[in-house]
Amino acid sequence: MSDNSHYAGSAGVPFLTAVEDAEKLLLASGRNRADDLESAVRMFLEFLKGFEAFDLHGPCVTVFGSARFPEGHPYYETARRLGGELARAGYVVMTGGGPGIMEAANRGAKEAGGRSLGCNIRLPREQQPNAWLDRFVEFEHFFVRKVMLVKYSCAFVVMPGGFGTLDEAFEVMTLIQNRKLERFPVVAMGGQFWHSLRDFLLETLVPEGTIDLHEIGMLSLTDDVTEAVEMIRRATTCG
């Protein structure tokens, strides 16, 4: 299916040690300056690993979505078609590198002859790199992984997902809102899955004044794969 280039964890840290280190980072008590310095070095090495891993030629689109939708599920099949259409339009497809929606988008890209990349996260369960990646990097910290998913892309497609997917989507929109990131297309696909969220933005956040009405326009909704790719293609940053 693909010839994966696998990059080991930072400084060759064993999996359980890496997970434990990431957990300790979030515990304020019991840490000293040496612990914090060691964590900072690990983070720096992880960023460096990511920067060195990807050498992209051509525009890249990141697809976010849940690891929990299996092959045959409508969301999986939509993401698979999307990956194929993006590849045929000349885009590199990047995902979180795991199963579910991520696998589907990577798979569609590979089946269409395109380039397929993944930024995987090392977790005790659920997340393993999928088999449709030309290259992937495994990360131990979510925030480092998110930087990589955003850094190389000129557009984002958000498929249905859970806390992680929502975190990624809102972080991208926060970066755009605060001009830390260019106004790249952010396309949400999945039908009714997103309608309640959009209603919440319109009926609660806007009236409360926590966001402006025009900022909802950062998120475009469609269930049409061709339309989603056209939205991205029309953006000069992704041409």
Query: Residue 129 corresponds to which tokens in the numbers above?
Result: 């790199």
How much is the pLDDT for 54?
77
Torsion of CA 117, 122, 126, 130, to 10 degrees: 20
| Mean residue pLDDT across the chain | 85
How much is the pLDDT for 12?
40
pLDDT at 108 over 80: yes
Whose tokens are 């299996």? That residue is 70
pLDDT at 122 over 60: yes
pLDDT, tens digit (0-9, with 9 covering 90-100), for 39-90: 888 888 887 777 777 777 789 999 999 999 999 999 999 999 999 999 999 9
pLDDT at 225 over 60: yes
pTM of the predicted model as reported, rounded to 2 decimal places: 0.83
How much is the pLDDT for 31?
64
pLDDT at 22 over 60: no
Mean pLDDT over residues 93-119, rounded? 96
How much is the pLDDT for 48?
78
How much is the pLDDT for 40?
83
Burial of 192 per CB tally in 10 Å (0-12, 13-18, 19+) = exposed
Query: Residue 23 corresponds to which tokens in the numbers above?
Result: 């957990």
Contact 129, 97 (CB under 8 A): yes
CA dist., res. 227 & res. 211, Å (int)? 27
Q: Which CATH code of 3.40.50.720, 3.30.70.360, 3.40.50.450, 3.30.365.10 fits the domain covering 6-238? A: 3.40.50.450
Spans of all domains in the chain: 6-238
pLDDT, tens digit (0-9, with 9 covering 90-100), for 158-185: 999 999 999 999 999 999 999 998 889 9
How much is the pLDDT for 28?
54
How much is the pLDDT for 24?
54
